[in-house]
Amino acid sequence: MKKLYIHIGVHKTGTTSIQNQLLKYRYDLLKSNAFYIPTSGLLNSISSKREYDSILVNRVKEELYNQILKFNSISSFITSSEHLSGSALTGYDNSDLMVKMLSDITSDLGCEIKIIIYIRRQDKYVESLYSHMIEGGYSIKFDSFISDFKDGYYDWNRLISSYEKFFGMENILVRSYDEVINKTGFFKDFCSLVNIPIISDYRANVGSNIASVELQRICNEKLDNETAKEITKSIRRYNRSFSRGSEIPKNIFFSLNDRKKFLEKYSESNNQVCKRFSIDPFDSVDEKSVENNLTNNDLLLTLLITINAINKRNENSFFHSIGACYFNYLTKFKKGLSYLRYWIYK
């Protein structure tokens, strides 16, 4: 029987990178009797659903069936969409609906279904998700973001159990993103799961540091959408390379004590998942882990790097908006402010 591997994320575990690599080497996979079926906007729209949509189910089912029929001689198919795990912004609280719809979509395809899911320690996951939200235009502060979480949000045991009910535990492949990212690399690990040769040694992107994220958040809050979009794009572009050697922490928004408290509520659930699927337990919180001690100096440095880089690219139209947006953050640093004025008004 043909196999259909369905990679459902979760978000912030290298899903986009996996999809890009599979798409890049899509036809090379044919040599291994495998084929990657890219997901459409139709399939990705599932995550926004709050009630069963039979029309959508039938349309997506037809899409998949036609792709499998087109490559009828292939024995193994792969598709990937983090949207199939549900809505990340609401803690995957609609996962029961997602799995019901996915089960109906994949029924009668003539394939053995394998569900692949990567999970991540919840504090790291939430910090990464928050950064992604800010990059997407949100302006909410981190403390407000996590204060809205309801019971069961980002509970991997609850999420995985939803898929077990319909597909069976033997057809659920669970991996720890935290573990594989530090060992084999997540894409090499994914290739081994779907039984294809390692077609790339692609690794995860370097994330933005917390100063870069905060500057983007302020832009989103203070500026009109179009201006904020252009400026935050420049902040990300010029600070990611700087982040590699920077002492400013990356994606650290919890204090040490808040991090411990946040993880306590997931302890039992995480242990159950790790035991059932024979994966290493998540690392405990390092008592010496870096705190979120973001200073105005960090913000100033990140801002100046951005302005200097923009200046070199002759993108002068952004200067005045940047200066106005961050004026309050820079007033305590007269020397820094004089440098800022120099870059903006020279």
pLDDT in tens, 283-310: 888 766 666 667 666 776 777 667 666 6
**Range in 191-195, 269-273, 293-297 with the lowest mean pLDDT:** 293-297
Whole-prediction pTM: 0.85
Domain residue ranges in the chain:
2-120+152-193, 210-250+295-345
Q: What is the mean pLDDT of residues 138-167?
A: 96
Write the burial class of residue 110 (CB in 10 Å: 0-12 exposed, 13-18 middle, 19+ buried): exposed
Average pLDDT, the chain: 83
CA 26 to chain centre: 22
pLDDT in tens, 24-45: 999 899 999 999 999 877 888 8
Query: What is 2-120+152-193's CATH number, 3.40.5, 2.60.40, 1.10.600, 3.40.50?
Result: 3.40.50
- Does the pLDDT at position 54 exceed 70? yes
pLDDT in tens, 89-110: 999 999 999 999 999 999 999 9
- Does the pLDDT at position 321 exceed 80? no
pLDDT at 182: 77
